[in-house]
C-alpha cells in the first residue's frame, strides 16, 4: 500500500477525512480543492497536524502542489468527494459536471470511487458518463466503486463494485481497524444505502408526526423527558440529499415512494410547525414583532459534501423574516446578544448549540426555543 497514488477530488470534510486516513497509512495522496488550479500533496505529518479542513485552511501551511490534470493522470485511485451546493433539480447537473471535470484526465487501469449518495441506477448513469468522457471501458480498462460517505464515525461496511470485483489495496486503504471491507455488486450497495436512509427517516418522521399531536402540558412534560427530545433540526436534515436522490430514481406511485415522500413532507411539516411555535411564543408573551429579535443558533460545518443544512438555515431565516424583520443566523456559538434592546428569542438548532446556550446565557432573560420534536420553549 505504501506509495499507492491516490487523488481525492474535493476538499470537503469527508474527502479530507479519508485522504488523511490514507496518507497516514503511507499512500501518496493528493487532494484537490476545486476552487484552485492545483492538487495539494497531503503528507502523513500534515494529516496528523490538521484534524479538519478549517484548521488546514486557517493555517495555510506551505504544501507541495502539482497541476490538477497531472495529478489525476498519475492516480491509481480517484475518490470523488466534492461539495455540492446547488438545490432541487440542479443537484444532479452539478454532480455530473464536477464528475466530468474529475475523471477527464484518468488513464488506463485506474479506479474511480464515487462517495456521494445516488438513487437506484445512479451508478449506471455515472458509469456511462465515465466511459463517455474517458473512452475507457469500465470493468476492462478502468474500475468503478461506490462508497457513500456521510457519518465519518460510521463508514459503509461494504464497497459497491462493478461486477462485484474485489480490490485488496482499496480495501486496505479504507479499512479503519482489522475488519476488512466487503465488496458487493453496485446494485446491492445502492439497496443497502437505501435501507439505511429510509429506516432512519421513517423512524424520525414517526417521532415528529406523533409529537405534533401532543397538545396538553402533561403529555408534553412526560414526552420531553424522553431521549428522542435530543433529536434537533440538525439531526433531521442530515442526509436529506440521500433521501431525495432515492426519490428521484422512481416514477409513479408505489409504496416506497410513499415512504420517501412522507419523510420529505414530515420534515417540511416540522419546519412549518417550528415557525408557528416561534410565532405563538411572541403572542403568549405579548411581544411585538418590531421589538423582537430572532437568533438562530446553528453551528455548521461549511465544508461538508451535502449542502442540506446550509440550505435549511437559509430557508428558515428567510421564512421567519416574513413575520419578524430582525432574524439572524449565528454559526459561531460565542455570539453576543446583549447589545440588543429587543427581546431575543434564541432558536437552538442542534444539541451542541443548545448545551452552549444553556452554559453561557443562563443569567440573561432570553427565551429559548429548542428545535426538537416538541419545539420546547424555555424562559
C-alpha cell at 164: 462485484
User: Which residues 6+ apart lie within 8 Å of 368 measured at CB?
Assistant: 345, 346, 347, 348, 354, 357, 358, 361, 377, 378, 379
Q: CB pairs under 8 A, 24+ apart, for 335-338? A: 335/295, 335/297, 337/293, 337/295, 337/361, 337/364, 337/366, 338/364
* Each residue's pLDDT tens digit, 101-123: 999 999 999 999 999 999 999 99
Provide the sign of the torsion angle of the four alpha carbons 291, 297, 303, 307, taken in this order. Answer: negative
Topology classification of domain 5-184: Rossmann fold (3.40.50)
Q: Tell me which architecture the domain covering 212-378 has in CATH.
A: 3-Layer(aba) Sandwich (3.40)
Q: Please report the pLDDT score of residue 361 as a whole number.
A: 72
Q: Please report the pLDDT score of residue 339 as a whole number.
A: 63
Q: Please report the pLDDT score of residue 207 as a whole number.
A: 94
Look at residue 168 and tell me whether its pLDDT is greater than 70.
yes
Pairing between β-strand 343-348 and β-strand 292-297 as defined by DSSP bridges: parallel
Across 342-353, average pLDDT:
93
pTM: 0.93
The answer to whether 190 and 119 have CB atoms below 8 angstroms apart is yes
* pLDDT level of residue 331 (50, 70, 90 thresholds): confident
Positions of CATH 3.40.50.720 in the chain: 5-184
Q: Please report the pLDDT score of residue 272 as a whole number.
A: 97
Provide the sign of the torsion angle of the four alpha carbons 30, 31, 32, 36, taken in this order. Answer: negative
* Each residue's pLDDT tens digit, 285-317: 999 999 999 999 999 999 999 999 999 999 999
Q: Please report the pLDDT score of residue 3 as a whole number.
A: 86
Amino acid at each position: 500500500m505504501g506509495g499507492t497514488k491516490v487523488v481525492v477530488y474535493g476538499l470537503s470534510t469527508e474527502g479530507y477525512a479519508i485522504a488523511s486516513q490514507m496518507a497516514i497509512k503511507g499512500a501518496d495522496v493528493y487532494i484537490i480543492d476545486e476552487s484552485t488550479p492545483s492538487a495539494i500533496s497531503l503528507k502523513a505529518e500534515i494529516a496528523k497536524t490538521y484534524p479538519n479542513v478549517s484548521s488546514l485552511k486557517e493555517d495555510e501551511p506551505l504544501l507541495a502542489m502539482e497541476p490538477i490534470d497531472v495529478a489525476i493522470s498519475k492516480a491509481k485511485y480517484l475518490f470523488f468527494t466534492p461539495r455540492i451546493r446547488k438545490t432541487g433539480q440542479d443537484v444532479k447537473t452539478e454532480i455530473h459536471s464536477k464528475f466530468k471535470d474529475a475523471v477527464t484526465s484518468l488513464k488506463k487501469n485506474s479506479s474511480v470511487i464515487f462517495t456521494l449518495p445516488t438513487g437506484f441506477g445512479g451508478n449506471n448513469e455515472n458509469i456511462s458518463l465515465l466511459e463517455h468522457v474517458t473512452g475507457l471501458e469500465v470493468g476492462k480498462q478502468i474500475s468503478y466503486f461506490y462508497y457513500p460517505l456521510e457519518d465519518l464515525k460510521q463508514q459503509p461496511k461494504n464497497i459497491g463494485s462493478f461486477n462485484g470485483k474485489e480490490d485488496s489495496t482499496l480495501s486496505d486503504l479504507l479499512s479503519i481497524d482489522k475488519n476488512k471491507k466487503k465488496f458487493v455488486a453496485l446494485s446491492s450497495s445502492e439497496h443497502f444505502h437505501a435501507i439505511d436512509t429510509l429506516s432512519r427517516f421513517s423512524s424520525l418522521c414517526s417521532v415528529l408526526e406523533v409529537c405534533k399531536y401532543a397538545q396538553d402540558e402533561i403529555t408534553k412534560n412526560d414526552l420531553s423527558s424522553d431521549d428522542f427530545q435530543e433529536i434537533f433540526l440538525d439531526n433531521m436534515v442530515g442526509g436529506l440529499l440521500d433521501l431525495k436522490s432515492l426519490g428521484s430514481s422512481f416514477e409513479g406511485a408505489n409504496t416506497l415512494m410513499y415512504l420517501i415522500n412522507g419523510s420529505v413532507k414530515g420534515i417540511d411539516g416540522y419546519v412549518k410547525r417550528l415557525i408557528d411555535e416561534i410565532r405563538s411564543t411572541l403572542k403568549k408573551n405579548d411581544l411585538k414583532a418590531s421589538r423582537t429579535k430572532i437568533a438562530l443558533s446553528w453551528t455548521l460545518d461549511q465544508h461538508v459534501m451535502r449542502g442540506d443544512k446550509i440550505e435549511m438555515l437559509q430557508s428558515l431565516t428567510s421564512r421567519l423574516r416574513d413575520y419578524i424583520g430582525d432574524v439572524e443566523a449565528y454559526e459561531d456559538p460565542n455570539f453576543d446578544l446583549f447589545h440588543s434592546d429587543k427581546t431575543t428569542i434564541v432558536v437552538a438548532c442542534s444539541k451542541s448549540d443548545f448545551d452552549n446556550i444553556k452554559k453561557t446565557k443562563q443569567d440573561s432573560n432570553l427565551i429559548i426555543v429548542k428545535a426538537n420534536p416538541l419545539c420546547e420553549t424555555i424562559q
